[in-house]
Structure 1
C-alpha cells in the first residue's frame, strides 16, 4: 500500500515540541479524522436523490461538501443539470420544500450507514495523542447533523478518536460553514483566549473558509479527504502518477480557498503545527 504519511511527520509525533503560543486545533470529521476519502456522505447523497428518480454523480455530490447537509442538498438542487432533471420529472423548479423532502430521506439513510465509515484515518489517533502531550486542546465540528454524529462518535471514540468538544452542523442558530460559528463555538467551549492561537484543519473549501472567517490559522488536507476522494482500497491500488495528479489539483483548490498550509493527511500535521508556532513566535498572524 502507498504511504499516507511522511517519515518526518511520524518522527515529529515521537517527541515533545514547542507549540507555544498555540492553544487549540479544531478538526473536521469525515475526510479529516475519520472516513478516508469522505465516502459516507457522498454515497448517501447519490442514493437519496435516486429515491426521487434523480441521478447525480459522485463528483456532483462532492461539490458542496463541507456545508451542513440541508445546505448541501439545496446547493445540489441549484446545479443546472440536477435542476433540469427535477423540472422534467416534477414539472417545476425545485424549492425549499423539496430540500426538506430529500433531507428527510437522506437522514435515516445516513444514520444507518455512517458507522460503516467511522474508522480513523491513518495517523489520526497518534496525532491527537501528540497534541495533548504538548498541551493543546482538541476541538471539532462537522457538517453532519447531531443525529448522525451520535451514531459516529461512540465508534470513533472506541477506536481512539475523541476530541475535547464536538459541535454539529445543525446545532447553531447562526448557521454552519462557511460562516465562523462552529469554529467559534469551539473557542468558547474550550476557553481559548485568542482565536489567532487556533488552527482549523479541514479537507473542504467551506471548512477552510470557516477557519479564515473565524480569524484562525488553517490547514487543508488533500489526499485523505473529499477533494481526492479515494477509498482506502482504491488508494492502495492507485497508480502513483494518478495519485499525485489528484493531490496537486486538491492542493491548488485548498490553497486558492486561502489555506495557510496544505498537507496530505492528519498524519502530517505535527510538522506543520511546529511551523505555525514558529510563525507566531516571529510575530506573524493568520491573514
Structure 2
C-alpha cells in the first residue's frame, strides 16, 4: 500500500505566480550580473525548476562558489520578502488534500529546493505549521532534486519499510526524476506549475494530474488495490 506521499511545494502545493523568476532577477542584479545576460539565465532557471537553487546558481555563475552563495542568499531574501508581503497562497485544494491523506493514515512530507529558512517562512505564511508529518530541504537531506535524497530521507525518518510504499508528486521534470530514482510506485506530475504534460511524461511520470486536488483519489485507490 501507499504509506508515504512526498509532495513538492512551489508549483505543486504552493502557487508560484512568477515569484521564483522575480526573485531570481532581483538576486542576479544585486550580484552585478549584466542585464543583457539575464534572459539567457532565465531560460536555464525555467528548465531546471525543481532543482536546488544553489546548484542552479553554481551552474550559472561558472562554479564561482562565493558568488553563487551570495546570489543564493539574495534570492532567498528576495523570495522571503515577497512571501512576507502576502504574495503566497496555496494551490486550491492543497491543504484539504494533505489532510485527507493524513486522515487515511498516509504520511505526508513537504519538500522544496529552497533553504530551510525560506521553507519555514512559506509554511508560516500559509498557517501550515504541523500540517505535514515532515518538511525537508536539500540542506537537510544531502542533495536536492533530481537526486532521490529528500524522498529517501523522508522514508527513513518516517519509518517506511519499502520504497514501493511511496508516492511522489511535483510540477517539474526534476521532481519526476527524483521520484523515479527513489523507486516510488507512484511518480505523479501536476500541471499547476513550471513544466507541461510533455516534459513530465518524458521524465517518466507514472501519472499526470491537473492538480494536487486529484491526488487523494489516486493514492487512496492505489492503497486499496495494493
Which TM bucket (shorter chain)? Answer: 0.7 to 0.9
Provide structure 1 residue ranges, at least 5 long, that are not aligned to the other structure.
Answer: 1-20, 79-93, 228-249, 282-287
Displacement of 1:195 = 1.3
Specify the structure having the higher radius of gyration (Cα): 1
Mean CA deviation greater in 22-31 or 52-61: 52-61
Aligned to 1:32: 12
Secondary structure of the corresponding residue to residue 139 of structure 1: strand
Aligned to 1:252: 198
Aligned to 1:88: none
Q: Distance in 1 between the 2:89 and 2:154 partners?
A: 23
Residue 150 (structure 1) aligned with residue 113 (structure 2) = no
Q: Distance in 2 between the 1:132 and 1:75 partners?
A: 38
Kept in 2, the 8 Å contact 1:35–1:119? The answer is: yes
Secondary structure of the corresponding residue to residue 200 of structure 1: strand
Aligned to 1:111: 80
Aligned to 2:211: 265
Q: Give matches, 1:160-199, under 5 Å.
A: 162-172=131-141, 174-199=142-167
Structure 1 residue corresponding to 2:187, chosen from 193, 196, 218? 218
Kept in 2, the 8 Å contact 1:125–1:161? The answer is: no
Q: Distance in 1 between the 2:87 and 2:12 partners?
A: 12
Size of the aligned set, in residue pairs, is 219
Q: Give matches, 1:41-190, under 5 Å.
A: 41-51=20-30, 52-55=32-35, 56-57=38-39, 58-77=42-61, 95-115=64-84, 116-157=86-127, 162-172=131-141, 174-190=142-158
Secondary structure of the corresponding residue to residue 56 of structure 2: helix
> What do you get for the CA RMSD once the two structures are aligned?
2.2
Structure with more strand by fraction: 2
TM-score (norm 2): 0.87
Q: Distance in 1 between the 2:216 and 2:125 partners?
A: 25
Residue 204 (structure 1) aligned with residue 172 (structure 2) = yes
TM-score (norm 1): 0.70
Q: Distance in 2 between the 1:170 and 1:54 partners?
A: 29
Kept in 1, the 8 Å contact 2:99–2:131? The answer is: no
Alpha-carbon displacement from aligned partner over 1:145-173 (angstroms, at most 9, x marks no partner)? 01111211112235x8821100112223x
Aligned to 1:240: none
